[in-house]
Structure 1
Amino acid sequence: MFKKILIANRGEIACRVAATARRMAIRTVAVYSDADAHANHVRACDESVHLGGSAPKDSYLRWEKILEAAKATGAQAVHPGYGFLSENEDFARACAEAGLVFIGPPPSAIQAMGLKAESKQLMEKAGVPLVPGYHGKDQNPALLAHEAERIGYPVLIKASAGGGGKGMRVVEKHADFAAALASCQREAINSFGDDAVLIEKYVQRPRHIEIQVFGDTHGNYVYLFERDCSVQRRHQKVLEEAPAPGLTEAMRREMGEAAVAAARAVKYVGAGTVEFIVEQRSEGLSSAGADMTFFFMEMNTRLQVEHPVTEAITGLDLVEWQLRVASGEPLPLKQEQLQINGHAIEARICAENPDNNFLPATGTLRVYRKPQHTSFQRSRVRIDDGVREGDAISPFYDSMIAKLIVHGATREEALARLDAALAQTHIVGVATNVQFLRGVLRTDSFAHARLDTALIERERAVLFDREPLGLPLAAAAAIARALLAERASAATADPFTRRDGWRGFGEYQRRFDFEFRGQEQQALLRYKRDGSLWLQAGGVEGALVVDELPAGQLELQFNGLRRTLDVYEEGAATHVFAPEGATRIATLDRMAHAGDTHAEAGRLTAPMPGKVVSFAVKAGDKVSRGQALAVMEAMKMEHTIAAPADGTVEELLYVPGDQVAEGAELLRIAA
């Protein structure tokens, strides 16, 4: 077994590998970029080495620097985590040439499965079922368009060297094919250095079910059952669960054996995931496996982000298996010794705005409070993360903050546990998808396991632009927090400078101005003769009673209800967390903004830091509301900037390739 390994990754996976290595008495070396100098994964390891600049190309993708770091620190092996270099056969080969063990499959397996077209041809020979499509080497756009017509719309364009939803577009009709192809190729070349694509039939009402496989250097292979990853946005996973609801034992065995055949065909070693697309032929999406047919989609030659749900239902440490297999040991268990225990679900908590097309967000974790949890294997609540309160979410890396994993005896128990754990997850300082995740859990489709990759779009009416608490409670909570702060300062203030409503006689009324969900609102607080308070907010009025509880919570009685809330202030904003949801309300200071003027009309600004990829217009062009104007790249994804209204382009202020800050004006449009 190794004495020291280098972890060629960052974030939660680096922290996870370090924790397992520590239990196995293996020392670890972290690598880090400028942006990660004080990151949690650096502290989690025994040693650390600086690689370079914040951008991945200047640090985590510089594998020559990683090899130098391994040599300098005396590491015997390199764990690539997932992402970055984990599926790079050149890096795996370079590790071997440097005398280092690459904790993953051999370069030949990575190469065989790394190009989707070639891997499909290989799987066809191995007898694994495939989706109808074009997987050839000829990348002439005219030929690709012809093949799409032959396959029949809708089709899916996928980067041949890709993964993680990057370089992937669904095309509904011929007229949209050329633009979608160009966008896929741009994203593919930026993410993988290869713009080759393949075309496949877009399966209607598909489920995404993947099989966890393991192989060793002694020719042994097992499958550790399946994960359902159907709930997706922008072709990226949102929720993952194991086992897959509605899968029969016969289909589970058939898919598992097909996955092992795929691994055996490339002499796979270590942890891998064989992904299948499952076509459902009945309306009962969670019904028996007899109503489903599966097709090979791709193999990810690495550990997957969602591996904890497999660990939860099997009770195994897959990272420990990786380390043991890489050191030459046989697989710890045989297929007949593996079994499923209970149900597990993982939620990916990301810095993003679901109501704005899941636009990634940046900022500082001013508040990062988590439910009671552990960080390993089959526990009721587990959190895998690589951040701490006070850390910054930068534009350089993936937007995922943490993974929240729960385990229960049944799917229903796991669902309830996950919702409760998400309710106890409080993040302030950056937009997140926590409330959106809770909304998905409560949809009829997810609750009853009617799963497919269009679930989010199908449930759009109940998932987006929702307000869980409402103005009356939000305003009452913000006023309550202000009153408690005033009470705390009252002991040192004279009666004439106190802001708590003290008067020598009579009653008086105090007005609070708020911004709530984009609208200006008012609340009126009346101080009564007997010292009690009466609040009017959002069309509701009643007595207001406020008490502060331990751990910063407050108890609020208003409109006949007694509530315990967690309330945090961030500048003028107040963030309110209740068991049923969370919201944000901002206090407006009329005097502070008395001299402000309205923003200049016609400005179009960058929604976040990133790179300008292209402009679809030029100065003088007439544009219509909703028309695509520019494409930006940030957090590994492309984002389209659309016209907010009809007008004429006056000026383009940047050129493709320029890096821009959040809020930077990109172009101007005259009405």
Structure 2
Amino acid sequence: MSGLRRVLVANRGEIATRIIRACHTAGIEAVAVYSDADERARWVRMADDAVHIGRSAARKSYLDVEALLKAARSTEVDAVHPGYGFLSESAEFARSIAEAGLVFIGPPASAIEQMGDKATARRTAESAEVPVVPGSGPVTELADAEKVAASVGYPMLVKAAAGGGGRGIRPVRNGAELAEVLPTAQAEAQSAFGDGTIYLERAVPGARHVEVQVLADDHGTVLHLYERDCSVQRRRQKLIEEAPAPALQESTREAITSAAVRLARHVGYRNAGTVEFLVDSEENFFFIEMNTRVQVEHPITEMITGVDIVAEQLRIAGGRALSITQDEVQRRGTAVELRINAEDPERDFTPTPGDIAEFELPGGPGVRIDTGMAQGDRISPFYDSLIAKLACWGADRDQAYARARQALEEFHVSGVSSTIDLHRQLTVAEDLRKGPVHVNWLEQWLGD
């Protein structure tokens, strides 16, 4: 196949609008899907065609493989883009799309399986000579876990093998906590992910969360688009991301990006993906997982490299080579992304669904807004609470944050609570302005 003609966007919200725009720019028709709750949504209006796929609950619509396959067949698309979340990292979904004779705009099902199970991914990284955090393979019995603890040392993390997005992780500081947490973690993993397998890793105190964006085509090219720092997070959910990672030595940058490319090549990866690492205070880095999809924070990588990641996804899926080589990827300036969520930080970040009464968006040089919302739209209780992503670019880090602060002053949302005021405080926080910060910094800052 030399190119794509018509794509089903198997997602909702801002990522659906992002994919639809990329399709239209490339001359490709886009078909949206929607649940009962999303019938009048912005991305539905933007698409060339739209198909109702079920009830408001995600498991009866956006997570319904058969409903999505039916929508794809009825609209005669030749490819399906899963976006992020929902079924984007489901090997079963990717395989079902391929078996239906359609193109899955993502990696092969085999790569999703290999990297989706975190314990398997650890072993794969080791075989690719990528550093991993000291830890274990799958653990089922307390006696085995205690042997690992004796070898690795406390504090440790008990992690769900099928987890992701910061979920399925529980810290333990000693043997008593391990004995208490292990059966609970196994039960939670089975309930949340359908797989009770857990493994153990040593905790890395004071670590930064640094991830590398990779792209791979079917013509032998695997390249990176540099790295992002995602250390500003609460309960392992990211609030602010920055590209490139601040104050990272060039030797570390070269080593970590090379490791990400090496791993992607080792697993026969295709399309866009992100390899995530922990970086300690001495800039030793350790692989933690690979996200086999486009990331929420991909805009800041686009801003510093000028590469349209979703457009490249469409090229790869259409059988074409990447439009760039590694030597042509140039890094310029700094970009920061702030996630504007319908949540109340004063009430432990409780989601605040409701109608958006006022929606005034900022503008100016270097300012980008990605959103699936418009004034009068409803933030649904059935899905995540993201209202918009505010991404700001500057010639240097100071300018990027200055533009972010100005954009936040212009950004107004009413009808629902939001994290705008919190971001106004964060972007003037002295620790963050000096940078970099570690993954526990935000929770400590909120506690103070």
TM-score by length of 2: 0.96
Provide the secondary structure at the position in 1 that maps to 2:77. Answer: coil
Aligned 8 A contact 1:344 1:408 in 2: yes
What SS does the aligned partner of 1:224 have? strand
Aligned to 2:396: 410
The alignment status of 1:445 with 2:445, answered yes or no, reads no
Contact 1:347 1:437 (8 Å CA) reproduced: yes
Q: Partner of 1:485 in structure 2?
A: none
Residues 188-238 of structure 1 deviation map (CA, whole Å, 9 limit, x = unaligned): 344432232221111000000000001111111101100000110010111
- Supply the distance in 1 between the matched residues of 2:422 and 2:438 (Cα, whole angstroms): 18
Aligned residue for 2:148?
147
Whole-Å Cα distance in 2 between the matches of residues 51 and 348 of structure 1?
Answer: 28
3-state DSSP of counterpart to 2:295: coil
Please name the residue that 2:283 is paired with. Answer: 292
Greater gyration radius: 1
Deviation of the 1:145 alpha carbon: 5.2
Question: 2:48 corresponds to which residue?
Answer: 46
Q: Which has the higher contact order (CA 8 A, sep 6+)?
A: 2
Asked if residue 275 in structure 1 is aligned to residue 276 in structure 2, the reply is yes
Are residue 329 (structure 1) and residue 315 (structure 2) matched? no
**CA pair 79-114 structure 1, distance change in 2 beyond 3 A:** same
Report SS of the residue matched to 1:50.
Answer: strand
> How big is the shift at 1:434?
1.1
Supply the distance in 1 between the matched residues of 2:175 and 2:385 (Cα, whole angstroms).
33
Aligned twin of 1:118 = 120
- Residue 217, structure 1, aligned to residue 218, structure 2: yes
The answer to whether the 8 Å contact 1:350/1:432 transfers is: yes
How big is the alpha-carbon RMSD for the aligned residues of Structure 1 and Structure 2?
Answer: 1.6
Q: Determine the C-alpha separation between the residues in 1 that align with 2:183 and 2:225.
A: 38
Matched, 1:67 2:69: yes
* d(CA) in 1 for partners of 2:191, 2:59: 11
Alignment check: 8 A CA contact 2:247 2:436 kept: no
Matched residues, percent identical? 48
**Aligned ranges 1:388-407 → 2 under 5 Å:** 388-407=374-393
What's 2:168 paired with?
Answer: 167
Distance 2:155 2:43 in 1: 43
Deviation by residue 1:324-366 (Cα, 9 ceiling, x = unmatched): 0111111111111111011100001111122332222222212
Question: Which residue is equivalent to 2:420?
Answer: 434
Q: Deviations over 1:513-550 (max 9, x none)?
A: xxxxxxxxxxxxxxxxxxxxxxxxxxxxxxxxxxxxxx
Determine the C-alpha separation between the residues in 1 that align with 2:369 and 2:435: 24
- Within 2, Cα distance between the matches of 1:141 and 1:362? 42
Q: Mind listing any 5+ residue stretches in structure 2 that lack a counterpart? A: none
Q: How does 1:234-253 map to 2 (within 5 A)?
A: 234-253=235-254
Amino acid in the other structure paired with 2:293: R
> What residue is the counterpart of 2:406 in the other structure?
420
User: Are residues 1:358 and 2:359 paired?
Assistant: no
| Residue type of the alignment partner of 1:309 | I
The aligned runs of 1:376-395 (5 Å cut-off) are 380-395=366-381
Structure 2 vs 1, CA of residues 383 and 189 (structure 1 numbering), >3 Å: closer, same or farther?
farther
CA positional deviation for 1:458? 3.1
Q: Cα distance 1:82–1:297, how it changes in 2: closer, same or farther (>3 A)?
A: same
Aligned partners of 1:238, 1:247: CA distance in 2, in Å?
Answer: 20
Residues 223, 43 of structure 1: alpha-carbon distance in 2 compared, 3 angstrom cutoff: same
User: Residues 167 and 185 of structure 1 are in contact (CA less than 8 Å); yes or no, is this contact kept in structure 2?
Assistant: no
1:458 is aligned to: 444
**1:28: which partner in 2?**
30
- The letter of the residue matching 1:315 is G
- Does structure 1 residue 229 correspond to structure 2 residue 220? no
CA distance in 1, matches of 2:394, 2:184: 42
Normalised TM-score (structure 1): 0.65
- State how 1:501-580 maps to structure 2 within 5 Å: none
Q: Secondary structure at the match of 1:228?
A: strand
Which residue of the partner structure matches residue 57 of structure 2?
55
Q: 1:249 Cα deviation (Å)? A: 1.9
- Corresponding residue to 1:348 among 339, 348, 358: 339
Q: Quick one: structure 1 residues 405 and 161, their matched pair in 2 at CA, closer, same or farther if it must change by over 3 Å?
A: same
Structure (1/2) with the larger strand percentage: 1
Tell me, yes or no, if the aligned pair for 1:210 and 1:228 is still in contact at 8 Å. Answer: yes
Check whether the contact 1:166–1:187 (CA below 8 A) recurs between aligned residues: no
Report SS of the residue matched to 1:84.
Answer: coil
1:183 CA drift (Å): 5.2
Q: Which runs of 5+ in 1 are unaligned?
A: 281-290, 374-378, 463-671
Give the aligned partner of residue 320 of structure 1.
311
Q: Structure 1 160/218 Cα, relative in aligned 2: closer, same or farther at 3 Å? A: same
1:94 is matched with which residue? 96
2:360 to 358, 369, 372: 369
Judged with a 3 Å threshold, the aligned counterparts in structure 2 of structure 1 residues 190 and 5 are, in CA distance, closer, same or farther, namely: farther
**Partner in structure 2 of residue 339 of structure 1:** 330
For residue 58 of structure 1, report the CA deviation from its aligned partner.
0.7
Cα offset, 1:243, TM superposition: 0.6
Q: What letter is aligned with 2:341? A: C
In the alignment, the residues of structure 1 paired with residue 182 and residue 295 of structure 2 have an alpha-carbon distance, to the nearest angstrom, of 27
Higher share in helix: 2
Measured in 1, the distance between the counterparts of 2:9 and 2:39 equals 15
Match of 1:8 among 7, 10, 21: 10
Matches within 5 A, 1:179-218: 180-181=181-182, 184-218=185-219
Which residue of 2 is the match for residue 657 of structure 1? none
Residue 299 of structure 1, CA deviation: 0.5
